[in-house]
């Protein structure tokens, strides 16, 4: 019905409805007048006013929760940028004896009008104000309640976006109005705390023409951005209405360079019209790729119900932030009024407002307004936008922001922020001004077209020579490895070339304690012979004083590699997983189970043998039954048990007692065999990888097996300068015996000779141990010390470091580095023995012989099954004897007599197998 009405008709209907409700209010309902000031831009009957009326209608209809309250609205309109007009309208509302004022919607107007409300002791609710204002009346009460999060919170959200993309260099611009400078200042504090490089921090003066102006004052800042060679990232604290105007001027200045810039805005307004001036779906070219935030709509518990009513009232019109804030403002007002009335506050106040033009210097005291303000500040209620804490709009339950990305077809939500952190959607990545989803650089690409000279040393699998290349080769094409592949990926993205050469002394680089001079790669970079290094250099505090390092592209721990022991030949190693006592117990078990099966077969009336010897007459037995009489003789029973143990087809007992016993035996055999198989695999693998030294402490407590590390490496410095006594002693031991290895190749050869442990970075040792020629010869173990990282090294304060940092972040985010790591550490070097050993270690497997005690539960289970089987056999015997007694076979009158006769017959047949007789034969002989 509402869909066919015009906005004027809808407004008239709601106004009439409110009027009828007020005039027909029952005795005892208190009429409370709420004033509101809305923008002339939306006009009368705008969406904010519709939200106000809906909220009042909801409150007045709820006779249970808001019994005795009748709200009535008095709405005024003003130019949000005209402070005097707003003051005039608020003065008019206060003169009408309103109890609460909602609005104005513009922060500057709120600042201008709030002194009036404070003077009149009338609480004021600001739906959209984000400025953190503390304005207290003479009583110390806060008469202003904000419904929107502060600019400080917006600054935190923007900072989280910056952190998410690892940007560190930026220009931070702000618009000098009432709100933006607060966000600008808060962000700068966060940036300083994170040690970000803000190459430009400025506030742009407001345009004299206000919203009708074209931001002429922004020209200087834009010119600076154009000429900047320090950054390509701009963080903007501007009101929403300035975004289009600013970007239009930027487009005229930067032109073809627009795609190289990234723009992050703190305010995309409360609705799409705030950005473009209309709800058109088209985004201008110069605004495509922008990223910004807007308060989230729909997080409140009341949202779905409100949305359904709203769509019926205004079909096709989405719920905007301003609509939700106005609705929630009425809820807060109603909740405060309810509390005040319950506590005896007289509302509405009968105080006379003298107005700002009054000749009286002192306004009459409004105690009702003071009390109402106190209760309003205590309100906590579920709203449309979230859970509302009237005295804390930054509360986690109501402070949500959408991260929006502008594209040609409109706005796209690509993430969400709240006080718990930022969540960027994996399936909806931003499209930047470059028209790509690749994370843009925050600085200009000054490497494009350049050729870098790169120093390195051979360190598998990071830097190696290809097969056939000479060991002293300095040809770039002769190198391969993980670091080479990472460098190649970065060079493609940053469009530079490179030349690789080996450091003349083949060392990473340490400082000489006497001359204080550096050697190795460090010296090459410091002497400007190399622009950078891609060798796996550990990032250390000493090196960071003379070099710039990128963020770590790999973290690792320290370990040592040692030659495994030669395993002595043993033709009976397959017996080692079980102790000799367990093997004896298994043999006895097979014999006992064979005997048990035979016993059940012999005495049970259902067994192969028992059913023949205890039959009434041989004439009643089928020929095939007689043929099966010796199926489970003593020999056959023992043999059947052995066949069951080795998983071969075995004869099945016929009696239930025998079946139970055999079933449990089969289950026990399954457990024993499975345990043997698993333990044998672990024993053969782990025993093959046995070494006399298992931990770094084992290594430090002996001197028979020598140990060393690479000369002039970070590890050498670590052992010489450490504060840990045991490691310091190890360093002195290596120094005394001259165990510093000149190269990785020399260290590997020394380790192969035996009685030597090479201490180094775990990734390098793992690669060496997995190579085909070394597979099964080395064991890498004994992780110790802290976790370290590899980084690419540059000259101190190099402009190239931030570029490499950004690309390394991209490669990690796209899992390129992890894919390359797997390629060089797993695919290229496949050692099954090492894989099995690592798997055993992860599972916590150790070499341990299984004893009788380990398998005692299995034997107990078997013993119980044998006892239960015997009980079942006795029950079978009693049942058969009872049947004999009922049929009076051989004159037996009682069950006991029949049972005794059967027992005698079974014993006679067992002792004299050659004189087998049935019960009928015995009767004939007598």
Determine whether the annotation assigns residue 543 to a binding site: yes
H helix or E strand, kind and range, residue 265: strand 262-265
Give which of 101, 105, 223, 97 is closest to 171, Cα–Cα: 223
CA distance to 184, 220, 585, 606, 851, per residue, from 592 (Å): 88, 100, 10, 21, 19
Q: Hey, which residues does 706 pair with through a beta bridge? A: 756
- In 542-589, the DSSP E strands lie at 547-549, 554-563
Determine whether the annotation assigns residue 913 to a binding site: no
SS3 of residue 787 by DSSP: strand
β 124-126/144-146 pair status: parallel
Give which of 73, 103, 72 is closest to 86, Cα–Cα: 103
In sequence order, the 6+-apart residues with CB closer than 8 A to the CB of 333 are 34, 71, 100, 102, 123, 125, 376
Give which of 806, 836, 827, 831 is closest to 461, Cα–Cα: 827
CA distance to 54, 124, 310, per residue, from 314 (Å): 12, 28, 6
Q: Hey, which residues does 480 pair with through a beta bridge? A: 464
In this structure, the number of other CB atoms found within 10 A of the CB of residue 59 comes to 22
In sequence order, the 6+-apart residues with CB closer than 8 A to the CB of 18 are 53, 56, 57, 60, 72, 73
Contact 205, 224 (CB under 8 A): no
In this structure, the number of other CB atoms found within 10 A of the CB of residue 808 comes to 22
CA-CA distance, 809 to 490, in Å (whole number)? 11
Q: Which two tokens stand for residue 380?
A: 């906590």
β 262-265/233-237 pair status: parallel
Give which of 446, 393, 401, 443 is closest to 420, Cα–Cα: 401
Looking at residue 118, what DSSP letter applies?
A: H
CA-CA distance, 481 to 823, in Å (whole number)? 10
Query: Torsions phi, psi of 839, nearest 5?
Result: -65, -40
H helix or E strand, kind and range, residue 412: strand 410-418
Determine whether the annotation assigns residue 722 to a binding site: no
Looking at residue 341, what DSSP letter applies?
A: H
CA-CA distance, 673 to 671, in Å (whole number)? 6
Scan for tokens 């994996």, then name that residue: 426
Contact 242, 248 (CB under 8 A): no
Crossing angle (nearest 10°) for helices 240-254 and 219-227: 50
Determine whether the annotation assigns residue 761 to a binding site: yes
CA-CA distance, 451 to 63, in Å (whole number)? 79
Binding site listing for L-glutamate: 536, 538, 543, 761
Binding site listing: 536, 538, 543, 761
């Amino acid at each position: 019905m509402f869909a066919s009405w015009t906005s004027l008709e809808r407004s008239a209907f709601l106004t009439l409805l409110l009027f009828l409700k007020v005039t027909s209010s029952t005795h005892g309902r208190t009429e409370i007048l709420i004033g509101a000031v809305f923008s002339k831009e939306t006009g009368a009957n705008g969406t904010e006013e519709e939200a106000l009326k809906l909220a009042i209608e909801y409150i007045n209809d709820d006779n249970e929760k808001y019994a005795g309250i009748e709200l009535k609205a008095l709405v005024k309109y003003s130019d949000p940028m005209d402070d005097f007009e707003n003051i005039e309208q608020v003065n008019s509302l206060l003169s009408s004896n309103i109890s609460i004022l909602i609005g104005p919607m513009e922060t500057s107007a709120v600042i201008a009008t709030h002194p009036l409300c404070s003077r009149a002791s009338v609480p004021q609710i600001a739906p959209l104000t984000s400025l953190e204002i503390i304005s207290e009346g003479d009583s110390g009460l806060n008469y202003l309640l904000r419904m929107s999060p502060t600019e400080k919170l917006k600054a935190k959200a923007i900072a989280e976006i910056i952190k998410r993309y690892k940007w560190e260099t930026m220009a931070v611009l702000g618009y000098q109005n009432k709100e933006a400078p607060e966000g600008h200042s808060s962000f700068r504090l966060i940036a300083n705390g994170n040690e970000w490089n803000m190459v430009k921090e400025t506030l742009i003066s407001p345009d004299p023409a206000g919203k009708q102006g074209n931001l002429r004052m922004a020209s200087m800042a834009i010119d600076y951005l154009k000429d900047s060679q320090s950054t390509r990232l701009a963080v903007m604290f501007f009101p929403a209405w300035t975004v289009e105007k600013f970007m239009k001027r930027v487009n005229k200045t930067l032109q073809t360079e627009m795609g190289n810039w990234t723009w992050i805005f703190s305010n995309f307004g409360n609705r799409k019209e705030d950005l473009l001036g209309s709800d058109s779906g088209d985004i201008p070219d110069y605004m495509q790729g922008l990223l910004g935030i807007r308060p989230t709509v729909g997080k409140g518990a009341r949202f779905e119900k409100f949305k359904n009513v709203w769509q019926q009232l205004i079909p096709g019109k989405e719920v905007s932030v301003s609509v939700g804030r106005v609705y929630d403002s009425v809820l807060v007002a109603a909740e405060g009024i309810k509390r005040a009335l319950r506590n005896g506050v007289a509302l509405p106040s009968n105080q006379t407002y003298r107005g700002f033009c009054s000749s009286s210097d002192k306004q009459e005291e409004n105690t009702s307004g003071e009390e109402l303000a106190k209760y309003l500040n205590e309100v906590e209620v579920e709203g449309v936008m979230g859970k509302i804490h009237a005295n804390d709009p930054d509360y986690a339950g109501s402070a949500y922001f959408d991260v929006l990305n502008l594209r040609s077809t409109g706005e796209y939500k690509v993430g969400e922020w709240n006080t718990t952190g930022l969540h960027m959607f994996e399936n909806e990545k931003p499209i930047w001004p470059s028209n790509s989803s690749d994370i843009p650089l925050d600085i200009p690409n000054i490497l494009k077209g350049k050729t870098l000279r790169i120093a390195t040393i051979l360190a598998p699998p990071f830097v190696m020579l290809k097969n056939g290349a000479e060991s002293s080769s300095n040809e770039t094409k002769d190198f391969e490895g993980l670091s080479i592949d990472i460098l190649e990926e970065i060079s493609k993205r940053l469009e530079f070339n490179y030349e690789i050469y080996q450091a003349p002394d083949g060392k990473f680089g340490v400082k000489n304690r006497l001359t204080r001079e550096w050697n190795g790669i460090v010296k090459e970079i410091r002497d400007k012979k190399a622009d950078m290094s891609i060798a796996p250099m550990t990032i250390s505090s000493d090196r960071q004083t003379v070099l710039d390092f990128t963020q770590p592209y790999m973290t690792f721990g320290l370990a040592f590699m040692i030659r495994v022991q030669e395993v002595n030949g043993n033709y009976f190693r397959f017996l080692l997983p079980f102790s000799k006592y367990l093997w004896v117990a298994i043999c006895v078990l097979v014999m006992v189970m064979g005997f048990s099966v035979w016993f059940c077969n012999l005495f049970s009336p259902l067994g192969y043998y028992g059913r023949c010897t205890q039959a009434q007459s041989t004439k009643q037995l089928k020929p095939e039954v007689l043929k099966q009489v010796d199926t489970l003789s003593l020999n056959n029973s023992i043999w059947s048990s052995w066949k069951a143990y080795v998983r071969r087809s075995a004869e099945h007992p016929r009696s239930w007692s025998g079946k139970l016993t055999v079933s449990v035996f089969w289950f026990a055999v399954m457990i024993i065999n499975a345990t043997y198989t698993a333990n044998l695999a672990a024993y053969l693998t782990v025993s093959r990888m046995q070494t006399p030294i298992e931990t770094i402490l084992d290594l430090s407590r002996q001197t028979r097996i020598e140990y060393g590390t690479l000369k002039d490496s970070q590890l050498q410095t670590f052992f010489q300068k450490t504060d840990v006594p045991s490691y310091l002693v190890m360093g002195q031991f290596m120094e005394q015996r001259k165990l510093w290895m000149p190269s990785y190749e020399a260290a590997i050869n020394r380790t192969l000779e035996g009685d030597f442990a090479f201490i180094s970075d775990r990734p390098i040792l793992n690669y060496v141990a997995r190579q085909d020629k070394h597979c099964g010869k080395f064991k890498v173990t004994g992780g110790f010390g802290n976790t370290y990282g590899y980084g690419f090294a540059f000259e101190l304060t190099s402009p190239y470091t931030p570029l490499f940092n950004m690309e390394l972040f991209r490669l990690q985010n796209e899992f390129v580095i992890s894919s390359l790591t797997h390629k060089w550490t797993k695919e290229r070097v496949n050692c099954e023995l090492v894989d099995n050993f690592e798997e055993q270690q992860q599972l916590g497997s150790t070499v341990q012989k299984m004893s009788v005690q380990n398998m005692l539960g299995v034997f107990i289970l078997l013993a119980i099954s044998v006892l239960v089987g015997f009980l079942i056999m006795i029950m079978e015997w009693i049942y058969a004897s009872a049947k004999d007694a009922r049929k009076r076979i051989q004159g037996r009158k009682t069950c006991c007599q029949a049972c005794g006769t059967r027992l005698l017959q079974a014993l006679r047949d067992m002792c004299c197998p050659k004189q087998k007789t049935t019960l009928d034969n015995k009767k004939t002989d007598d």
